[in-house]
Amino acid sequence: MSNRFLLRDALAEFPPYVPGKPPTTAPGLKPYKLSSNENHLAPLPGVVDAIAEAGQVPANYPDPKSTKLVADLAAHLDVDASEIVPGAGASEILSALTNITLEAGTSVVYPWPSFEMYPILASARGAQKRPVPLLEDGRHDFQGLVAAIDDTTRLILLCSPNNPTGPSVSTVELDGFMAEVPAEVIVVLDEAYFEFATDAEVVDGMAAYRKFPNLVLARTFSKAHGLAGLRVGFGVADPTIATALRQVIAPFSVTSAAQVAAVESLSRNDEVLVRAKEVAATRDQFEQDLSDAGLTVSDSQGNYVWVSLGDEDAQAFEEACAAQAVAIRRLSGGVRISVGPDEALDRVREVATAFVESRTA
């Protein structure tokens, strides 16, 4: 007999977040996970040591204000510390932004497909979701986004580079869009993958932030810095917005290990950027190879490649990769493949060639 409890009706409106699948095993093959956009490179020197030292006294709570990390980020970005809000990954910053803006009777506008947490967070707040389909090339439809805004809109979410399709928002696009957005509506630029972007037209988030008081940046140490397992990110926001965010973020959410690892990695940011551009070069070659094999790929600026496929073909491609002990991410409209070790990407190349040949035979 099933028990009944007083749970929110909104829970029926959305599925829980589904993480990338782990790789399956295959005889004689090393398994690889290319389904979660993780950084496959080894940690930077000093980061592991900083984590180990921070774990020497696990009984103590972490600094609730992440004082050192906030100060270093403020200096690095040339903003006041009051404008920096640390959190357990960019996801906590996004959750807090929905928490301070959305409720029943309000709406949130965002591109789709994009980061899967956007509709989940909106539903959790009881807000009306207004997803705007991407353009055919995987870019944001800014005319459509503007058309979706009305007097109930409290939050707009943009993703640059867009996850999962890959294109970045350009400076011209963002400037034109912000001119159409009411000044009191908060616009979020989710820049989880910005370090990998190489497009000359990509928007500079910090330059845009200085122009538009209602723009908030969400950034993370998970991707280019390779600290996804520690959960540390941050927001950059007008002090009024930042103060509201701190009100709703759980105390002690950024652990001591996460704080010191982020501080150490930030001190080596030049190295992080060099490595990110190396990943980007691999991405570009991989993208070209898949295109040459006959697949339809978008111009990705993240550490992943998006292949447009119908649902049946996407499932078949995912299964073919799984048979080679490589996990990729199947989503509506295609598959997303994270940049990983050469051996893993070579297997995907072989799958791509065989896949296209089987459909043209």
Residue 101 CA to residue 110 CA, distance in Å, equals: 14
Q: What is the pLDDT, as a whole number, of residue 13?
A: 76
**DSSP letters spanning 57-69:** -TTSPPPTT-HHH
pLDDT per residue as tens digits for the range 232-254:
999 999 999 999 999 999 999 99
Non-local CB neighbours of 88 within 8 Å, separated by 6+ positions = 231, 232, 233, 250, 253, 254, 258
Question: With bands split at pLDDT 50, 70 and 90, how would you rate the model's confidence at 3?
Answer: confident
Contact 90, 96 (CB under 8 A): no
The answer on pLDDT for 361 being more than 70 is no
> Across residues 35-41, what is the average pLDDT?
96
pTM metric for this prediction: 0.95
- Mean pLDDT for the chain overall: 95
Kindly state which CATH superfamily the domain 20-43+274-360 is placed in.
Answer: Aspartate Aminotransferase, domain 1 (3.90.1150.10)
Which of 7-16, 137-146, 197-206 shows the lowest per-residue confidence on average (mean pLDDT)?
7-16
Q: What is the pLDDT, as a whole number, of residue 18?
A: 80
Q: What is the pLDDT, as a whole number, of residue 360?
A: 80
End-to-end CA distance of the chain: 54
Architecture category of domain 47-267 in CATH: 3-Layer(aba) Sandwich (3.40)
The answer on pLDDT for 49 being more than 60 is yes
Q: How many other CB atoms sit within 10 Å of the CB of residue 244?
A: 18
Q: Which amino acid is at 33?
A: K
Q: What is the pLDDT, as a whole number, of residue 55?
A: 87
144 burial (CB, 10 Å; 0-12 / 13-18 / 19+) is: middle
Distances (CA, A) of 309 to 53, 137, 313: 47, 13, 6
Q: What is the pLDDT, as a whole number, of residue 17?
A: 80
Structure tokens at 340: 């990983």
Residue 81 CA to residue 236 CA, distance in Å, equals: 9
> Across residues 179-206, what is the average pLDDT?
98
Question: With bands split at pLDDT 50, 70 and 90, how would you rate the model's confidence at 25?
Answer: confident
In the chain, what are the domain boundaries? 20-43+274-360, 47-267
Residue 117 CA to residue 16 CA, distance in Å, equals: 9
pLDDT per residue as tens digits for the range 68-94:
999 999 999 999 999 999 999 999 999
Q: What are the backbone angles phi and psi of residue 304, rounded to the nearest 5°?
A: -160, 165
Residue 130 CA to residue 267 CA, distance in Å, equals: 40
Q: What percent of the chain is modeled with pLDDT above 90?
A: 89
Residue 200 CA to residue 189 CA, distance in Å, equals: 18
> Across residues 147-157, what is the average pLDDT?
98
Handedness of CA 15, 16, 20, 22 (dihedral sign): negative
Q: What is the pLDDT, as a whole number, of residue 116?
A: 95
pLDDT per residue as tens digits for the range 135-146:
999 999 999 999
Contact 170, 140 (CB under 8 A): no
Residue 139 CA to residue 113 CA, distance in Å, equals: 10
Contact 328, 35 (CB under 8 A): yes
**DSSP letters spanning 14-73:** SPPP-PPPPPPPBTTB--EE-SS----SPPPTTHHHHHHHHTT-TTSPPPTT-HHHHHHH
The answer on pLDDT for 231 being more than 60 is yes
Residue 109 CA to residue 155 CA, distance in Å, equals: 7
pLDDT per residue as tens digits for the range 284-324:
999 999 999 999 999 999 999 999 999 999 999 999 999 99
pLDDT per residue as tens digits for the range 261-271:
999 999 999 99
Residue 41 CA to residue 51 CA, distance in Å, equals: 17
